Structure 1
Amino acid sequence: MTGTPRRSIAARIGVTLLNLIAPGLGLLRVAGLRAAAGYLAAPTLLLLALAGFGWIAPTPGFAAFATVVLATMAALIALMIVAMVRTWRASRQRAPVKGWSRWYGIVAASIVAGVAANAAAEACHALYKPYYIPSEAMLPTLADKETFLTDMRGGRHPARGDIVLFDMPELHTVYIKRVVALPGDRVALVGGVPVINGRKARQVPVGGRTYRETLPGEAGSHAVLDLGPSDLDDMAERVVPPGQLFVLGDNRDRSADSRVPRSEFGTGWVPVRDVVGVPLFTYWNTDLSRIGRKLTP
């Protein structure tokens, strides 16, 4: 009488490593669908729980966001480790291969688990989403290649001084600029300084070419760069049309914004309906001192 066939060490390692693709795939191979189902569903359920929590929780600061991200990563790593340990133990002996345990079952399960997890991640991104800025147009507030977290629910009622992200359908991309004038405002620029409804913005030098600017009616203030005289420093007064915004980059001499029409690769007027969110804070930069900098009042 012969015993139950055993897998080689190499085969056991290979089966166990299937869990690196998706937690539970290795168990699916050696123990079947029932043993693997919970592990395969866990990442999706965890992300959906985060999305649900995000709807009811206050807008996070950097510390809270970092804590949630680290806890989520730790939970996923722990899930993977447990699945690998269980797979290793269950893979010692060969069991009869059933439908879900065959190669096509494993491929199907990995696709389903991947699609479900991606959909759950998109649910999270409907609340908060990372972006990076690929230019210097928002210096000194945002540096080139800086990554920041965006509240995708914000920006529906922008105020003067707010930073907003908005769709540019013509370019199939998202831009980030600062709101300077609202629908119905009269806006002009004189020597690079915004003038809103006849009132000039206050600019105080803070060192180098950096100024602290306060727009008329702005709740706080923000930093801007003035690199010297440029063709965009002066603009005759315009009236912002209904449902539109006038936006500027903080690096005033290096920004294609509402001063430049879209036909010339600027933003022109920005429809309020195209605003997709507001940035919260920087969460990655090679200059570690910038990480965690708050970007909203």
Structure 2
Amino acid sequence: METSERRPRKQGWRFVLLALVLAIAISGLVRSLWLDVYYIPSESMEPLLGAGDRILVSRTAYSSEPIRRGDVVVFDGRGSFAPLSSGKGPFVDAVSAASQWFGLTGSDTTYVKRVIGVAGDRVQCCDANGLLTVNGQPLEEPYVFQGDEPSKQKFDVVVPEGRLWLMGDHRSRSADSRGLLGAPGGGMVPTERVIGRPVQIIWPLDRFAEMPRSTQAETPLKNGQ
């Protein structure tokens, strides 16, 4: 009798283990190809995104259309915003990656910012009214954190082909393209490093909301257009 009772229990555990492995595999496939979840660790994108938010990111958002000014993008900052290697060793990197995958912690190399300039744009700070200009046109930015200036740091850049100029909405709390002007690449992020576009806040529940694609109040023309 004991043997016959143990076999169903063992088979039951095997089924549970197999189902768990299959669920993780399917989740991994979905998150690597279509939708992924990211944890927001900082205040750099307030008021749109707050520290502790979990967001659903579409990896296919830009498969059929280009990245536009005003878009909020999640991107891999290695080689631009962050070093290519953490220097902490493979074991620490693996533990950190697992924690990030389960949405328990934020990533040291993955960022979320807003696209201010695309290839060919000249982005400057600031005009006589204290506004950023893109290709000589003042940029209205209703998304900027209340009380923040568009930028205290002065700059004048032209975005190269295949690159983006990115800034956080909470300008006084955001480390973004402005802080990398003297670094290789000049603070510009390669478009191929863009992971996708946030489409939903999924946690906390009181902030559960869709994130429609943003547009800037005015879309300046490129030079010569």
* Structures share fold, TM-score greater than 0.5: yes
2:135 aligned to which of 197, 203, 212: 197
Residue 200 of structure 2 corresponds to 281
1:130 aligned to which of 37, 41, 61: 37
Residue 220 of structure 1 corresponds to none
Question: Hey, what's the Cα distance between the residues in 2 that align with 1:254 and 1:159?
Answer: 24
Residue 18 of structure 1 corresponds to 13
Question: Hey, what's the Cα distance between the residues in 2 that align with 1:141 and 1:130?
Answer: 17
Residue 186 of structure 1 corresponds to 122
Residue 240 of structure 1 corresponds to 159
2:174 aligned to which of 255, 261, 273: 255
In the alignment, residue 133 of structure 2 is paired with which amino acid? V
Give the 3 Å change call, closer, same or farther, for CA 283–229 of structure 1 in structure 2. Answer: closer
Give 1 or 2 for the bigger CA radius of gyration. 1
Question: TM-score with structure 1 length normalisation?
Answer: 0.53
**Structure 2 unaligned residues grouped into runs of 5+:** 86-108, 215-225
Name whichever structure is richer in helix by fraction.
1
Give the 3 Å change call, closer, same or farther, for CA 147–225 of structure 1 in structure 2. Answer: same
Residue 164 of structure 1 corresponds to 73
- In angstroms, what is the RMSD of aligned CA positions? 3.1
Give the 3 Å change call, closer, same or farther, for CA 153–20 of structure 1 in structure 2. Answer: same
Name the SS for the 2:44 alignment partner: coil
Greater relative contact order (CA < 8 Å, ≥ 6 in sequence): 2
Give the 3 Å change call, closer, same or farther, for CA 229–179 of structure 1 in structure 2. Answer: closer
Question: Hey, what's the Cα distance between the residues in 2 that align with 1:7 and 1:263?
Answer: 73
Tell me if 1:291 matches 2:208: yes
Name the SS for the 1:225 alignment partner: coil
- TM superposition outliers: structure 1 runs of 4+ over 6 Å: none
Name the SS for the 2:132 alignment partner: strand
TM-aligned CA deviation for residue 263 of structure 1: 7.0
Aligned residues: 181
Tell me if 1:224 matches 2:144: yes
TM-aligned CA deviation for residue 153 of structure 1: 1.5
Residue 54 of structure 1 corresponds to none
User: Does the aligned pair in 1 maintain the 2:179–2:187 contact within 8 Å?
Assistant: yes
User: Does the aligned pair in 2 maintain the 1:227–1:253 contact within 8 Å?
Assistant: no
TM-aligned CA deviation for residue 291 of structure 1: 0.5
**Structure 1 unaligned residues grouped into runs of 5+:** 1-5, 23-39, 44-112, 204-211, 213-222
In the alignment, residue 135 of structure 1 is paired with which amino acid? S
User: Does the aligned pair in 2 maintain the 1:243–1:271 contact within 8 Å?
Assistant: yes
TM-aligned CA deviation for residue 155 of structure 1: 3.5
TM-aligned CA deviation for residue 142 of structure 1: 0.5
Identity in percent: 32
TM-aligned CA deviation for residue 256 of structure 1: 0.7
Question: Hey, what's the Cα distance between the residues in 2 that align with 1:192 and 1:155?
Answer: 32
TM-aligned CA deviation for residue 224 of structure 1: 1.6
